[in-house]
Structures are given as structure tokens and as C-alpha cells.
Amino acid sequence: MGVRVAREQIAQLRSLNRHIDQLHRELAELVAAHRPKLLTEQGCGALVAAILIGHTAGNERFRSEAAFAQQTGTAPIPCSSGRRTQHRLNRNGDRQLNHALHIIAVTRAQRDPATKRYLARKQAEGKTTKGALRCLKRHLARHFHQLLAEPPADQSQPVQPKLAPTNGKPTEIRDRREPHPDAIRIQGGPHISACLNTH
């Protein structure tokens, strides 16, 4: 009885592992098609890249890289005392984004010589080990904000509309938000553009 139950559990675990591997491959393909540059960054695998993409939810909503750092919880919080200038851990922001940057930071701290020199320099300046790591995560937030600000690789280029011949008359350029006077109106109702803009 016990042997049969154990074999069934092992079979279920193997099935789950195969399913996990399949999902990971599909996720890697989606990330590679959408933002392939993220996968070239050391410490940023498919899952970490997907967290950065999904939880950022459009980099254009951040007015600056400082705002992105606030969202990732990597913006420094001063807690100086006397002549000693230091910063404490920022527990605000999206913790999943913070976790993704933490994975990248720890991986680079272990494997990347340039990152090791950066951390050693910060510690020589008086930073603690954790303080140097927080500086590294702030630097990574700035770097990945720049990467996420680039247009996605799979973004289709907008088709430029062909201008109708004007017979020598100047063509009027209208703002995209301004309703054209020739737009269709619903009988007895508001302008159709106004209806669309309310949803």
C-alpha cells in the first residue's frame, strides 16, 4: 500500500516538473520575442524578466527613473545620525519588483568581477555590506528602467496614413484628440468620438 502511494506521488511530481519546464520554455519564448535585451543581462533569466515586465506594466507610466526606483523600493531613505550619513532599507513599493532586482544583484555580486569591484568600493567608502547591496540595487533600477523604456521588439510600427491629394491647397493638421467635423453623429445623441472617449 505504502509503496503504491509513493510511486503515485513520484509520478505526479514528475508530471508537475514536466509541466513547469514546458511553461518555463514558453515564458522564455515570450520574453525573448518581447524584450530580448533583458535575457542578455547577467542574473536576469526568463522568470525574473517576466516579473520586471509584468509588474512594471508599461514603463511610460513612470515620469522618471527616480519614480521607477520608488516603485521598486530601491530609492534610499536617509537615516543619518550626527556626522554619520547612512540610509536604511526601503520597504515600500512593489516587493516583487524589488525581489527581481535583488536576485540580479546577488547573482552579479557572486559572479561579476565589475560588480564585486563596485561593492568593494562602496564598502571602502564606509557602507556596510547591506548598504553596498542597496546601492547596487538602486544602480540596477536605473539601468533596467532605461532598458524597459526602449520600444518592445515585437511592437508593430504604426502605419503612416497616405495623404489625399490637395490640389495645391495646404493640408490641415489636426490633433489626434480633436474630433473631426465630418465625423458621424448618432441621431439625437452625442458625438461618436465623445462616446468612445468615455470608455
* Whole-number pLDDT of residue 58: 85
Q: What is the DSSP string of 113-161?
A: HHHHHHHHHHHHTT--HHHHHHHHHHHHHHHHHHHHHSPPTTPPPPPPP
pTM: 0.70
Task: Calculate helix-pair angle for 95-111, 46-56, nearest 10 degrees.
Answer: 150
Which regions in the chain score pLDDT beneath 50? 159, 170-199
pLDDT, position 198: 41
Provide the pLDDT for residue 79.
60
β-strand partners of 66? none
The reported pLDDT for the residue numbered 37 is 94
The pLDDT of residue 101: 95
Residue 199: the pLDDT is: 44
Yes or no: say if 113 and 120 are a contact pair by the CB < 8 Å rule: no
Q: What is the per-residue pLDDT for 86? A: 62
Q: Do 104 and 140 contact (CB within 8 A), yes or no?
A: yes
Measure the CA–CA gap between 177 and 193, rounded to whole angstroms. 9
Q: Measured between alpha carbons, how far is 192 from 197 in angstroms, rounded to an integer? A: 9
pLDDT at 3: 87
Domain positions in the chain: 10-149
